[in-house]
Structure 1
Amino acid sequence: MSLTDQLNDIINSLGGFGPEVWLSASFCVLLLAELIMLRSSRTQARRLLAGLSVGAVVIAGIWTVLLPTRGYLFMHLLFVDNQAIFIQVLIALSAVFVLIYEFLTVQREEETGLSRLPLEWYSLLVAMTLGLFLMAMSVNMLSIYLSIELVSICSYLLTALTANRKASEGGIKYLLFGAISSAIMLYGMSLLYGMTGTLDITANSFGAELAGQDTSVVAVALLLTMAGLLFKLAGVPFHVWTPDAYEAAPVPVAAFFSIGPKAAAILVLMRVVTALPAESPLGGATAMVVQTPLAVLALAGILIGNLSALRQTDAKRLLAYSTIAHAGFLLVGVVALSDAGFQAVLFYVGTYLFISLAAFFLIDLLAQSNGSDLTISHFAGLGPKQPVLSITLTVVMLALTGLPPTVGFTAKLLSFSALYEAYQRSGDAWLLALFVLGLLNALISLVYYLKIPFLLFFRSASITQKSVPLPKAAVWLSVGLVVPVIALFLKPDLLLRWLTGW
């Protein structure tokens, strides 16, 4: 490609890169605003920065939907399609909800001198949103790696941002595991580049070259490459950082970790596993080489997440292990290696946004209502005192379990239906094991998900609890997140019609 053609391609690509440019500019503006507001009151500075951050993310999300350009950008570094736009919208929504919740609850924290997040967190969250936007569009191994590193660096800083020992320990552990997974991923990418001669995973030569390679070598290279994606997904075996990081991070940060990186990572993972052709006329590697290993990892994630959550005494650690289990459930649809499975994954991610954020927000508000920490035993007897929050949290826990009348049931039904169809096609015993044990794990998860609702309504408080008034706007925001959880169970077509229409 001549220099003129390259320049023309860059200029034409800018039409599909507007939201990312906007987020980059917003990040710079937020940094300058922090410096300018140093001499202002903390409340005034927080109000300005929160407003700028919410506005920046909302505009980026709307701009994403209205993008005039589709297809490849910057000489196949990025790719804009409906799936990328869907994930970007989910990321923008989760960032907006988290920013609004933090702003609504921070006033009480500042009045008591216990503000959970410094002002720098706004610019870091916008930068992390930018990285996630780039991840959702990345189809080149170089752009995939760089966007993951941008997300990771922001994640480490957000985890360790508060000035306490637990935050520092959680951030260090997060950093160490992130460095290991990045090194493994780079090694896998180097193997893939050596076998194919290209970094573009959507190139015809990429799949064609891998299809002619030895099956076991391709499987190892692909699994090594997936290390960074499994790390962001909190998938086994790169899940060890999750409980400590979630416990150390403030609730708004942990809530964003539970959905934002997962949404972007699962889309990139789907693109990687479909890089190989479904069939190889030469008898070489096909997409099936990663089906059984991914099924094993999905099953391990479901089992480890659920069994570990049974003995947790801290609500955030419980939700952290829950996200590990749900990472396994997300992989179920990927393992199916079919259009139905990929649509089920996107549906799962779209609904998990509301379920996960509602779980973190409601648990945080219930803990604030009696002035306690997030120890599970401290929720005893709060049901009659906070009936709206308690009933809503019970609905959310049913959704996390996957029981009707919540959309969690629909999401799991779609994923396991696609998995069973894949088993009927391939006859792989590991797919059957994942199907059976994955469904049985719903019974295990029922034990710990209903632990908090049981304490809320059927146990009296062991200590005298003080009643603390809650910000009404934060309460209604958290309760409002549960409306889609019920509505999408009654009318899943509202989302499925959009996904299947692609």
Structure 2
Amino acid sequence: MSLSDQLTDILNSLGGFGPEVWLSVAFCGLLLAELLLLRTDARTRRRWLVGLSIGSVAVAGVWSAVLGARGFLFTHLLFLDNQAVFFQLIVALSAVLVLAYEASAYGSKDQPTINRLPVEWYALIVAMTLGMFLMTLSVNLLSIYLSIELVSICSYLLTALNADRKASEGGIKYLLFGAVSSAIMLYGMSLLYGMTGTLDLTADNFGIGLSQQDAPVATVAMLLTLAGLLFKLAGVPFHVWTPDAYEAAPVPVAAFFSVAPKAAAVLVLLRLVSALPVDGSSGGTTMTVLQTPLAVLALAGILIGNLTALRQTDAKRLLAYSSIAHAGFLLVGVVALSPAGFNAVLFYSATYLFMSLGAFFLIDLLARSQGSDSLSISQFAGLGSRQPLLAVALMIVMLALTGLPPTVGFTAKLLSFTALFDAYQRSSDPWLLILFALGLLNALISLVYYLRIPFLLFFRPAQADLPAPTPLPRFAVGLSVLLALITLLLFIRPGLLTDWIGGL
């Protein structure tokens, strides 16, 4: 392609790149606004920054939804399709909900100082959202790597944002594990480039080059490349950072980590798997050879997440190991390697947004109702009678995370495991059957720790020296309860999502 053709392609691509340009400008604008508002009082400064950050992310999400342009951007570096828009909406919605919750729960007049986040977090959330928007568009190994690194750098900063020892320790651990996974991913990408001669996942040469390799060799290269994605998914074996980072980070940050990076990473994973050739030179097809390792990783994530969560005494660490288990459940649909499985992944990603954010927000509010920033599980004993609305909403969300009716968590797991069983009937791979059986069994195991907090809320006496309940911001309470109600609504009307996903 000549230089003039490249310039023309770049100019034409800007029409489909509007939301990302907007987020870049918004990030710079928020940094400038922080400087311009230095002389104002803290409450006014935060009010402006909250409004600007929520408005910026919301505009980007709406812009992405109404954008009519579809196709390749910047000479096949990026690809804008309906699936990318779907995941961008998930990312934008999660960012708006987290920002709105932080502004209400952490900025109320009754609790102005508990765990207050530095003002820099607003710009970092917007920058992290930009990185995830780019991840959803990436179909080139170079753009995939750069967008993942942008998300990772923002994640490290957000984890260590508070100036205390725990935050610094969590941020350093996050950084070290991120550096290792990034190095492994780069090595895998270099192998893929050496085998195919291209970085473009959509190029014919990519599939042809892999098909000319022995399937196990190509599979090893793909698994090494998946290291960075498994890191963002909190998937085994790159999950070790998760409990420390979640515990160190403030609740809004940990809630955002649990949803948005997973959504962006799972789409990149789907694109990588879809780029695999269906014909290999030996040892079976490259795509089907990758199926067994993915099944093992999914099963390991489910087992490690659930079994380790049983021993946790801190609510944020419990939700961190729950996040590891749900990363395994997300992989179940990918393992199916079928359109039904991929659609199940989309449905799971969208519904996990409401379940995970609801759990973090409700647990945080229950702790705040006692005037405490501690999230020890034992402190929730007897709070059901003092905060019945929050307690019932939390029980609904925990049932959804378990995967029990009448919540959408049941529907999400049903779709995933149905696709997995269909894949087993086609391939007769014993690992798929093992994943199917143990995955369903782990749904029952998770019931033990998911219902531990509701059990304490309703069936254990409150501590004798509990202080009078602290007033909670109505908006934060209403938002958290609304998330719980959505998990019920989507169980009753799953077509609200499945019809949309089917048309992507």
TM-score range, shorter chain: over 0.9
Q: Distance in 2 between matches of 1:113 and 1:240?
A: 31
Contact 2:115/2:250 (8 A) holds in 1: no
1:38 lines up with 2:41 in the alignment: no
Alignment of 1:203-222 (within 5 A): 203-222=203-222
CA distance in 2, matches of 1:493, 1:113: 43
Contact 1:210 1:285 in 2 (8 A): no
* C-alpha distance in 1 between matches for 2:310 and 2:347: 27
* Alignment-derived partner of residue 420 in structure 2: 419
- Cα distance, 1:460–1:283 mapped onto 2, change above 3 Å: closer
In structure 2, C-alpha distance between the alignment counterparts of 1:202 and 1:436, rounded to whole Å: 35
Structure 1 residues 88 and 288: alpha-carbon distance in aligned structure 2, compared to 1, 3 A threshold: same
TM-fit CA distance, 1:37: 1.1
**SS where residue 94 of structure 2 aligns?**
helix
Letter matched to residue 106 of structure 2: V
Q: What percentage of aligned pairs have identical amino acids?
A: 72
Q: Partner of 2:474 in structure 1? A: 472
Q: For 1:107 and 1:95, how far apart are their aligned partners in 2?
A: 17
Quote the offset at 1:279 in angstroms: 3.5
Moved more, 272-281 or 192-201: 272-281
Deviation string, structure 1 residues 158-187 (Cα, Å, up to 9, x no partner)? 000001100000000000000000000000
Match of 1:268 in 2: 268
- Residue 92 of structure 1 corresponds to 92
> Are the structure 2 counterparts of residues 119 and 422 from structure 1 closer, same or farther at C-alpha, using a change threshold of 3 Å?
same
Contact 1:212-1:284 at 8 Å conserved across structures: no
Give the letter aligned to residue 279 of structure 1: D
Deviation, structure 1 residue 282? 7.2
Q: What is the correspondence of 1:52-451 to structure 2 with a 5 Å cutoff? A: 52-108=52-108, 111=111, 113-280=113-280, 285-372=285-372, 373-451=374-452
Could you report, residue by residue, the CA deviation over 1:421-474 in whole angstroms, capped at 9, with x for unpaired residues? 000011101000000000000111000000000000000123421111100111
| C-alpha distance in structure 1 between counterparts of 2:283 and 2:371, whole Å | 64
Cα pair 1:23 1:60 within 8 Å, conserved:
yes
3-state SS in 1 of match to 2:79? strand
Unaligned runs of 5+ in 2: none
How many residues align structurally?
Answer: 502
Three-state SS of the structure 2 residue aligned to 1:11 is: helix
Aligned mates of 1:283, 1:150 — CA distance in 2: 37
Distance 1:163 1:200, change over 3 A: same
For 1:376 and 1:106, locate their aligned partners in 2 and report how far apart those are by CA, in whole Å: 21
The CA deviation string for residues 170-227 of structure 1, in whole angstroms up to 9 with x for no partner, is: 0000000000000000000000000000000111110111011011110110000000
For 1:483, the equivalent position in structure 2 comes to 485
Structure 2 residue 7 is matched with structure 1 residue 7: yes
Q: Find the residue that maps to 1:79 and give its secondary structure.
A: strand
Structure 1 spans left out of the alignment, 5+ residues: none
The AA in structure 1 aligned to 2:449 is Y
Flag the 1:20–1:412 CA change in 2: closer, same or farther, 3 A.
same
Coordinate RMSD, CA, aligned: 1.1
TM-score between both structures, scaled by the size of structure 1: 0.98
Q: Is the 8 A contact 2:215 2:282 kept in 1?
A: no
Structure 2 contact 400–407 (Cα < 8 Å) conserved: yes
Q: Following the alignment from structure 2 to structure 1, what is the Cα–Cα distance between the partners of residues 435 and 385? A: 40
- Whether the aligned pair in 2 keeps the contact of 1:109 and 1:115 (CA below 8 Å) is no
Query: Alpha-carbon deviation of 1:111?
Result: 4.9
How far off is 1:483 after superposition? 2.1
